[in-house]
Structure 1
Amino acid sequence: MRTASAVTFAAKLSFENIHHSYHGKETIRGISMSAEPGEVLCLLGPSGSGKTTLLRIAAGIEAQGKGRVLLNDQEIAGPKVFLPPERRGVGLMFQDFALFPHMSVLDNVRFGLTALPKAEAVAEAHLALERVGLAHYAEKFPHALSGGEQQRVALARALAPRPAVLLMDEPFSGLDSRLKDSIRADTLSILRHSRATTIVVTHDAEEAMRMGDRIALLRDGKLVQVGTAEELYLRPADLFAAGFFSEINVFPGKVAAGRVETPLGNVPAGRLSDGTKVRIAVRLSGVAVSPADGNIPARVLSRRFLGVVELLELAVPGTDQPVRARVRAGQLPGGLREVTVSAIERDILVFENHG
């Protein structure tokens, strides 16, 4: 049975024009954004995009070269102030859980409560273990626990001091893929009960969509876009953002009479003016494939069964590259080679080509 014990207060954590360099290389380039009180904000991006560096700056493990970090509009790191990690009211949960093997589960959770008298610290640690459903494991040692249980102990330890902000660095990356979904759901439930403002680092777009109230997408140390999962998926800021949230086919094109010609048909160009060079992204799920109903002939080059869906590679007139499509398994007869294709308009995105 888990208990719902709230944090002292949920805080707003803000980054203001953060810059950071490492060995002369810029790792963070002018990032400004906020995690709102009580929300789960996911920092998403590929390796080297600056996600973990930003987390370390928030925690006080790393100092930014320029800019400010604010907690409830009070500067905690900047030109005038640099609070050490223990004075920030910020909890940090590491990627590898960092549990001490020679300490019991209870002592691991109690480790961050040094400011409290022992009896009080033990009581708080027990309460934190109850919150994650592991009170009965208090006397066990980490090696006796599964990966998922160790993850929950690490979460209990991070939440035990009741931080205003909890920072989590790829907390599910070491877990068995079959367990990830249930452990993520459990973790989210615990975070909701604790009401801590939470920033989660991940490189997995689906994980960010499952967990985040909002998502901040980073690339090469810059903030590409911040918003809800729906906003980033439906209205990506650029081709990079579009490709991070769904598999896409990409075609070059040019706007003429408000439209763009693609191998999958003629599509609206939105507000782009005639003559503009563009790149057209078509989601794999937006390529409709049928035996005879579409208007563009295509030939099946390969077909991979993936359970619920099949992944197709198709030869389509007007492009040398194979066009990829995801269709529901069993939708097309086995052995079919000649098909027709068309694009579903909601899955077509047009971006100006700045290259």
Structure 2
Amino acid sequence: MASDPSGSNGIGTRRAPAATFAARLTFEDVHHSYHSRETIRGITLTAEPGEVLCLLGPSGSGKTTLLRIAAGIEAQTAGRVLLDDREIAGPAVFLPPERRGVGLMFQDFALFPHLSVLDNVRFGLTALPRAEAEAEANVALERVGLAHYAQKFPHQLSGGEQQRVALARALAPRPSVLLMDEPFSGLDSRLKDSIRADTLTILRQSRASAIVVTHDAEEAMRMGDRIALLRDGRLVQVGTAEELYLNPTDIFTAAFFSEINEFPGRVRGGVVETPLGNVDGRRFADGETVRVAVRLSGLRVLEEGGAMPARILSRRFLGVVELLNLAIPGTDQPVRARVRADLLAHGLRDVTLSVNERDILVFEKDDRTS
């Protein structure tokens, strides 16, 4: 298999693309059902011109279905899809994929094994004369740094190179919106960072709007100008990475963006009592039962000097950090913490624990209902 020359080294020498006019893609109260099961439940969402919008969520949340609706591969059961305020799918309109000006990059890249790299990229340019299509395909390959692989076949390329060929093919028609379905899921974890960085640079250069599906919160934070978090076919929260991390609307969002300890809590006199200390609960009714999330990153474990005693039940070395399971007074539930690997002496059992109040989040008890 060929070596992967991906990374930032080649970006500067790649050909700048011809201008693409980015479009605004809007989902307007979109619903979708499959075998009488509702898979998309009234989603309203807009990808702004030139923006990278990440659709994030667990398996079955509706991410890929929403992408397929935008591409014209699936038809919604209700609602509309608009491109720059022009309806492309709705009650009385359904433009086929080839008439939407939308590019789609599949999760498995979907390269044709019997076609050369150049012919794979040229495949979506059948409306052009052959010579012109070939020239455009070469430009697209230069854009992703693979012009020298034009005559090779997909099986001769690494996974990262195949990903870039698929990206070149999707960008060759110069779509105003590019849809990408988990484009990095099949790549070696060691390559993902550089391939993602390259892809983001190419997207910025192409100026197309992009909607990227992922189940990985860190990937969404690395890639997205904004993130739309989905769950059970509904839009849970949309915003920047910072907004979703710092101000999650519910415990589902909090747990998706960081590892948490979760406890039940009760509001008494405007205070929520938790095993890790009391926090402000004035926005809840007195006596109300709530859910409390404490980020692992907000826990500080020291040999002495912390706010409460704790005992190490187990510790797992993870390289730079250790994952600890701790027993604390007031609860039978172990508390998890991540600490720097060289912080605590080997064999240490009794420690102290403090928590950063900013990493304690309080939510309504029934926020997990569908």
TM-score, normalised with respect to structure 2: 0.95
**In structure 1, what is the Cα distance between the partners aligned to 2:154 and 2:215?**
27
**In structure 1, what is the Cα distance between the partners aligned to 2:70 and 2:183?**
17
Local SS of the residue matching 1:100: coil
Match of 2:33 in 1: 21
Moved more, 335-344 or 105-114: 335-344
Match of 1:345 in 2: 357
Shift of 1:286: 0.8
Match of 1:63 in 2: 75
Which of 175, 184, 188 aligns to 1:163? It is 175
**In structure 2, what is the Cα distance between the partners aligned to 1:193 and 1:111?**
22
**In structure 1, what is the Cα distance between the partners aligned to 2:81 and 2:331?**
49
C-alpha spacing 1:270/1:118, structure 2 compared with 1 (3 Å): farther
Shift of 1:271: 2.0
CA deviation map 1:25-72 (0-9, x unaligned):
000000001000000000000000000000000000000000000000
Match of 1:8 in 2: 20
Could you tell me which runs of 5 or more consecutive residues in structure 2 were left unpaired when the two chains were aligned.
1-12
**In structure 1, what is the Cα distance between the partners aligned to 2:352 and 2:276?**
10
Moved more, 195-204 or 333-342: 333-342
Which of 264, 271, 278 aligns to 2:290? It is 278
Give the partner amino acid of 1:204: D
Shift of 1:7: 4.2
Which of 266, 286, 298 aligns to 1:254? It is 266
CA deviation map 1:171-228 (0-9, x unaligned):
0000001000000000000000001100000000000000000000000000000000
Match of 1:197 in 2: 209
Local SS of the residue matching 1:187: helix
Root-mean-square deviation (Å): 0.9
**In structure 2, what is the Cα distance between the partners aligned to 1:268 and 1:327?**
26
Give the partner amino acid of 1:345: E
Q: Does 1:116 align with 2:128?
A: yes
Match of 2:112 in 1: 100
**In structure 2, what is the Cα distance between the partners aligned to 1:335 and 1:283?**
25
Match of 1:77 in 2: 89
Match of 1:295 in 2: 307
**In structure 1, what is the Cα distance between the partners aligned to 2:70 and 2:307?**
54
8 A contact 1:128–1:156 mirrored in 2: yes
Shift of 1:297: 1.1
8 A contact 1:298–1:314 mirrored in 2: yes
8 A contact 1:7–1:195 mirrored in 2: yes
Local SS of the residue matching 1:112: helix
Q: Does 1:46 align with 2:32?
A: no
Which of 26, 34, 47 aligns to 2:46? It is 34
Local SS of the residue matching 2:279: strand
**In structure 2, what is the Cα distance between the partners aligned to 1:71 and 1:270?**
44
Match of 1:152 in 2: 164
Which of 241, 244, 249 aligns to 2:253? It is 241
Which of 108, 133, 136 aligns to 2:145? It is 133
8 A contact 2:20–2:206 mirrored in 1: no
Local SS of the residue matching 1:279: strand
8 A contact 2:20–2:207 mirrored in 1: no
Give the partner amino acid of 2:156: A
Moved more, 197-206 or 267-276: 267-276
Local SS of the residue matching 2:361: strand
Shift of 1:283: 0.3
TM-score, normalised with respect to structure 1: 0.99
Local SS of the residue matching 2:219: helix
**In structure 2, what is the Cα distance between the partners aligned to 1:23 and 1:273?**
42
Shift of 1:270: 5.0
Shift of 1:77: 0.1
